[in-house]
Copies of this chain bind each other. A is one copy, B any other.
Amino acid sequence: MGRKILIIGGVAAGPKVAARARRLDPDAQITILEKGEYISYAGCGMPYYLSGKIHDFDHLYSTAYGVKRDPEFFKAERGIDVLTGMEALAIDRANKKVTARNVATGEESVFEYDKLVLATGSNPITPPIENLNLKGVYRLNRLSDAPIIKQAMEAGEFNDVVVIGSGFIGMEAIDAVFSPMRTVTVVEFKDTMLPGILDPDLGKILYKNLYEQGLEGRFGEKVLRLEGQDGKVTKVITDKGEIPADAVVVAVGVRPNVKLAQEAGLTIGETGGILVNEYMQTSDPDIYALGDCVENTNIITGKKTLAPMATYANRQGRIVGDNVTGGKSAFKGVVGTGVLHCMGMNVARTGLGENQARDLGYDIETAMISTFDMTHYYPASNKVLLKMIVDKKTQRILGLQGIGKGEVAKRVDVVATLIYYGGTLDDLLNLDLGYAPPFSTPIDPLVHCGNTVKNKLEGIVNTYTAAEVQAKLERGDDFVLLDVRTPQQFATRNIDDPRVQQLTLGELRARLADVPKDKEIVTVCAMGSRAYEASRILKGAGFKDVKLMEAGMEGWPYDME
């Protein structure tokens, strides 16, 4: 008889531990207890099932070769016992036993363990909103939520949709339900889209894009209660008004499910997740915990953080699989990477955001550029915005954020790798990143972004953000906003203000006399590079007060119609 490995939780973390442990120890008795119906499923895939990209519900819990990952699969293929509808109630650490209850029958049973693994995941947060129990109010957390929403969508009950929260899951819910045939409104308590994930400047541009596709956003607005008729939701009431709604998706975040751990006297960390060491051991060395239920360490800051993501659940799962079978593998922490796709826009980020970095006391420099994700002449090229955050003192890169129709995930993965090693701006220019026209530009956009930070640090360029320019315009500052784009580009979209002066980059050197020498000049172009060139021309010609607007008109969100 082999060692007894008992695992509580059967979605991502739990099954991964079991799978790895089984491969390493053929004799172990491996058992998973899962209180729900489904196991080993791709919760992350639900939005694409709802939007119709994935046709078949079963695909969310099937292998690539078409076999459903149900308890029979785990038994036959993996030699793992999975008990669904079985809720673990209590851990008896002294006797290494777990009591569980059959959810259907109420029958209780006891499971022994040599090693216990807590993969109890997270629970959706229930915000203090009245009447969340009305019909038409949905969650998108468990696999069992997906068919419920799907059915309602197909029954025509999703016409006026309100999504509460614009975090990762909120955005994916938007992607899942958005259609020009529906009214979709997102209500976000914070001032900006994807708060804490994207800096506000990028959040604004992202929202501008989604808005132009038809999404309604209400930011800095708090949902107070829902109203309904005949038990069905009809309205969302906020602190600023009301929104008609026949469907509401609540997505205000998740919280680690630590009940069992807490009741068993295991240490819970300051963030509310189960405390583990780098081997994913809890305060009881025979009990491991991983996935959404634990707290993680941020590699940059050394601080504890919650990181409820499937990638950590899986990678930690492999590590715990090693460790419960006698190995000693370590999880070093997270740097805060996240990617997401919503309504044709890619969003990716890693490391610290601008405000996070400042709050932590870093003296930082940032740059935002608009760029093509590959050579502009290649037909598949698309624009993206990249923003980098750098520690001034060490020139270490602290974070990268990217949004756009084009490729941003690659650049974020490279920076996540750089951050892992404490990489600097000098390292960045020396990275041997692959270039061919369908993949990149000769100098990768990411490297251009880093060089732009370097140019700022070295005083070669001075910049304003779009928000700063907007504030100057509103304040009535006396300055020239020098637009150096082609007349065609200017005609298509421009900032309508008497302080705007037009002069293409090609004309500028010959017509310097037309630019007022005594005023502050802010150069602006489509994406940023011509404004940079123009600022160097002006500085070279003795203009004293020259700045550029970062990321050009692509970075300008203040003209939403």
Contacts and interface: CB of A to CB of B under 8 A. Distances in A.
Interface of A: 12, 22-24, 26-27, 42, 44-45, 48, 53-54, 59-60, 62, 64-67, 73, 76-79, 299, 309-311, 313-315, 318-319, 329-341, 348, 350, 372, 375-379, 409-410, 412-414, 416-421, 423, 426-427, 429-440, 442-444, 447, 451, 460, 485-486, 489, 505-510, 525-527, 530, 532-533, 536-537, 539-541
A145 B348 CA distance: 40
B430 A420 contact: yes
A77 B409 contact: no
A305 to B, nearest CB: 12
B65 A530 contact: yes
Contact of A489 (B24, B54, B65, B340): B65
Give the number of times this chain occurs in the complex, counting copies: 2
Given A64-B527, A332-B430, 14 more contacts: A26-B536, A26-B541, A44-B436, A48-B438, A54-B378, A65-B486, A79-B537, A311-B444, A319-B429, A330-B426, A333-B430, A339-B439, A340-B436, A420-B427
Contacts of A379: 53-54
A15 to B, nearest CB: 11
15 contacts: A12-B442, A24-B460, A42-B437, A48-B378, A54-B378, A315-B429, A318-B429, A319-B429, A337-B434, A339-B439, A350-B432, A409-B434, A410-B410, A413-B413, A420-B431
B416 A432 contact: yes
B430 A331 contact: yes
Nearest to A409: B439
A339 B302 CA distance: 36
A116 to B, nearest CB: 23
A45 B372 CA distance: 15
A454 to B, nearest CB: 10
B378 A432 contact: no
Contacts of A338: 434, 436
Of A77, A319, A426, A540, most B-chain CB atoms within 10 Å: A77
Of A418, A451, A540, most B-chain CB atoms within 10 Å: A540
A335 B432 contact: yes
Contacts of A508: 77
A60 B377 contact: yes
A26 B409 CA distance: 37
Given A427-B420, A435-B309, A460-B24, A443 B315 contact: yes
A446 to B, nearest CB: 9
B413 A434 contact: yes
A96 to B, nearest CB: 25
A77 B505 contact: yes
A541 B22 CA distance: 12
B337 A509 contact: no
Nearest to A539: B26
A498 B344 CA distance: 51
Contacts of A65: 485-486, 489, 525-526, 530
Contacts of A60: 377
A338 B532 CA distance: 30
Contact of A341 (B42, B350, B419, B438): B438
A29 to B, nearest CB: 13
Contacts of A439: 339, 341, 348, 409
A334 B432 contact: yes
A222 B58 CA distance: 53
Given A314-B442, A377-B59, A436 B506 contact: no
